[in-house]
Structure 1
Amino acid sequence: MIQLKSIHHIAIICTDYAVSKAFYTQVLGLTLLQEIYRAERDSYKADLALNGQYVVELFSFPQVPARLSFPEAAGLRHLAFAVEDVAAARQELMNAGVTVQEIRVDEHTGQRFCFFSDPDGLPLELYEG
């Protein structure tokens, strides 16, 4: 069996690079490590970090097909971020103009969580713990 060490990164393709870059850096607080323009693809790629750890690749492409998020579609369900206080983090998102669902409680762990979306409708979660 292969011995995985950790998750290296999550790749996200966006429809409006400037809007998504601002969302992930200014609203969610990820740090821009590097940004590359790939002329042959007419595509930007940003490497973003959370607490100094590289976690997200943000891509742009000239033509991208829409991906269903709701109703539940097959594939990756959502990207979850751990926070100390889900209510405080939820309020910060709402203060930034982000629509956030109500806080729920995980029936198995007792932890609080809530969902919101990035500018392209990608489902994101805040999970307390």
Structure 2
Amino acid sequence: MSLQRIHHTAIICSDYAASKRFYTEVLGLRIVAENLRTARQSWKLDLALPDGGQIELFSFPAPPERPSRPEACGLRHLAFTVSDLDACITHLQQHGVAVEPVRIDEFTGARYTFFADPDGLPLEMVEPASGR
């Protein structure tokens, strides 16, 4: 077996319109497809990532909340590589998104920060250290 890359990450949201706006207008992801799955009362929005991967955004009636954040068992956060962390932070703040203070990874030297989507899903932006 030889895994090549992540194909997609699936996210279930509580407010489809708010999450669609966040991922397309704030994060700037391109819509690949949008479908209403009538039998499941669910929207499915496929969003393109620059590396060819995708985010699948789902809506379901009354999805349960996550047990805790961020140290619950399971997926901890979704991280995006960026080339200019400061510009990305400014962009998010201009859209009313709260951003944590920038940290530096003690092992890699990468600068990074966390923010959240409309449902509080932890998201991270990482600016790799130059030369690494």
TM-score range, shorter chain: over 0.9
Matching residue of 2:103: 104
Runs of 4+ in structure 1 over 6 Å off: none
Seen in structure 2, the aligned counterparts of structure 1 residues 52 and 105 have a Cα distance that, compared at 3 Å, is closer
Q: CA RMSD in A?
A: 1.2
Q: Specify the alignment match of 2:120 in structure 1.
A: 121
SS where residue 53 of structure 1 aligns?
Answer: coil
Q: What is the identity, as a one-letter code, of the residue corresponding to 2:2? A: Q
Q: Which residue of 1 aligns with 2:78?
A: 79
Deviation at 1:3, TM superposition (A): 1.6
Instruction: Please give the TM-score of this superposition, normalised by the length of structure 1.
Output: 0.94
Cα deviation for residue 63 of structure 1 reads: 1.6
CA distance in 2, matches of 1:54, 1:113: 21
Q: Tell whether the 8 Å contact from 1:27 to 1:93 is kept in structure 2 after alignment.
A: yes
Per-residue deviation, 1:85? 1.1
Q: Distance in 2 between matches of 1:71 and 1:124?
A: 11
TM-score scaled to structure 2, two decimals?
0.92
Alignment CA distance shift 1:93-1:69 (3 Å): farther
Task: State the match for 1:89 in structure 2.
Answer: 88
Gaps of 5+ in 1: none
2:39 maps to what in 1?
40
CA contact 1:69–1:121 (8 Å) conserved in 2: no
Give identity over the alignment, percent: 56
Aligned partners of 1:20 and 1:119 also within 8 Å: yes
